[in-house]
Amino acid sequence: MTADKTTPSHDQVIAATRLWLQRAVIGLNLCPFAKGVHGKGLVRYVVSDAQDEEELLGDLERELQVLLAAPPEEVDTTLLIHPMALIAFTDFVRFLDLVEVVLRTQRLQGVLQVASFHPDYVFADSEVDDITNFTNRSPFPTLHLLREASLDRAVAAFPEAAAIYERNMQTLRELGHAGWRELGVGAPSDIKE
């Protein structure tokens, strides 16, 4: 794949995603569990070349199996980044229903789960420009594959896990749009999404 204004290289995609993880997710403590797995090098970054839902579904199915087969002490979680598929947030949201079907058909519910991040993420009943949407805004559309057992351990170690959502909303409100822009965690400026 050659890099140009519309097609980011895998290295660019991973670098932007890693920067977002470090500055926003960990830096703002949006996920108190992320720091440990990142610090131990247990996050697998996978860039999908998929350009449509069917190709992305194939990549998702493969990556679920890779994560399932990998020892947790080597790979605890996977970020499946797909910069050329599901660019429109409405398409991305519809695709999440298919993700649930894949988890069910592969009998992975209760074993693995998938969280979602997107550059244009909007929570239901939220305005597009509401700063609280940025808790789930990533440089590129991303599916976060997680082990349920790891999540259960993390929640047990963090007794106030239920309060994370509300705390994140407050953090983003205090940061504001200008503060978010200062983090510099969007897609590289030479890449057109």
Tokens matching residue 9: 């290289």
pLDDT tens string 60-96? 999 999 999 999 999 999 999 999 999 999 999 999 9
- pLDDT recorded at residue 1: 40
Give the global pTM: 0.92
Q: What secondary structure does DSSP assign to 32-54, as a single string?
A: TTHHHHHHTT-EEEEE----SHH
- Quick one: CA dihedral 133, 138, 143, 144, positive or negative? negative
pLDDT tens string 18-37? 999 999 999 999 998 899 99
Q: Look up residue 105 and give its amino acid.
A: T
Alpha helices (H) along the chain: 10-20, 34-39, 53-69, 89-105, 148-157, 164-183
- pLDDT recorded at residue 2: 40
- Quick one: CA dihedral 8, 10, 14, 15, positive or negative? negative
Q: Look up residue 59 and give its amino acid.
A: D
Host H or E run for residue 178: helix 164-183
Give the angle 37-40-43 at the CA atoms, nearest 5°.
Answer: 50
Tokens matching residue 131: 């700063």
- Cβ pair 60, 143 in contact under 8 A: yes
Q: Pick 105 or 1 by higher pLDDT.
A: 105
Instruction: Name which of 6, 4, 2 is nearest 193 in CA terms.
Output: 6
